[in-house]
Amino acid sequence: MQAVQQEIAQALKVQPPFADAAALGQEVARRVAFIKDCLANARLKTLVLGISGGVDSLTAALLAQRAINELRAETGDQAYAFIAVRLPYQVQHDEHDAQACLEVIKPDETHTIDIAPAVRALAAKVQELKNGSPTLVDFVVGNVKARTRMVAQYTIAGARAGLVIGTDHAAEAVMGFFTKFGDGACDLAPLSGLVKNQVRAIARSFGAPEALVEKVPTADLEDLEPGKPDEASHGVTYQQIDDFLQGLPVDPAAAEIIIANYRKTQHKRELPFAP
């Protein structure tokens, strides 16, 4: 079991636990520098990120806005900008959390795009969905929502010559808990290699309120189960996932679930198959 844990942790480049506040600060600085380097290498000045109301997008946005602030201060170029995008499907049930995140982030710009008309228009044109079971249709349309959100972000980024930020981290990556070519598609993923508790710790270090830091994570893609917690989908807790990734003892049944999900979703973490 330990060998498998190490193999997976190495593949996902899992970061060791923060030894102290100084180590956390160094990691924040490293990831902010990474974001700045991505912009410099692309010769672009704009970052785009969808804000869901969860701690992952909150943390990625805090890192992004700090990177932009530093670039403006260092270069004197006011053209650098971070664009936060709200992408609700009609009215989001936890919109108040999304708005609270925006108050913490203080983005340079905030755009809102209701994805419902686009999602419904596409679903209405797919004949296969008309005869599907309610559960199947709900699942498929949930993935359409995630992909439509990414299309919207890339549309803004294209219009503003910017890069799209992803929010995937090691605890989601190991479970394959993202939509392929949806929230899994991005230009840079500054949370990569972090476990969930580290994402929370970084948000907390920026002064984010505990209600947002410790908010129950949910993908909130399915209409039949709105706000369904991630852990209910996983069958394991994020603490168990974090412990597994960081080489700590984990209940054997939980470890089996994590390993099975990792292997089953390997295709999501790779480029398309090619001959």
The three state secondary structure string of the chain is CHHHHHHHHHHCCCCCCCCCHHHHHHHHHHHHHHHHHHHHHHCCCEEEEECCCCHHHHHHHHHHHHHHHHHHHHHCCCCCEEEEEECCCCCCCCHHHHHHHHHHHCCCEEEECCCHHHHHHHHHHCHHHHCCCHHHHHHHHHHHHHHHHHHHHHHHHHHHCEEEECCCCHHHHCCCCCCCCCCCCCCECCCCCCCHHHHHHHHHHCCCCHHHHCCCCECCCCCCCCCCEHHHHHCCCHHHHHHHHCCCCCCHHHHHHHHHHHHHCHHHHCCCCCC
Give me the catalytic one of 94, 97, 108, 172: 172
Would you call 97 a catalytic residue per the annotation?
Answer: no
Give me the catalytic one of 27, 56, 220, 222: 56
Would you call 256 a catalytic residue per the annotation?
Answer: no
Which residues are catalytically annotated? 56, 172
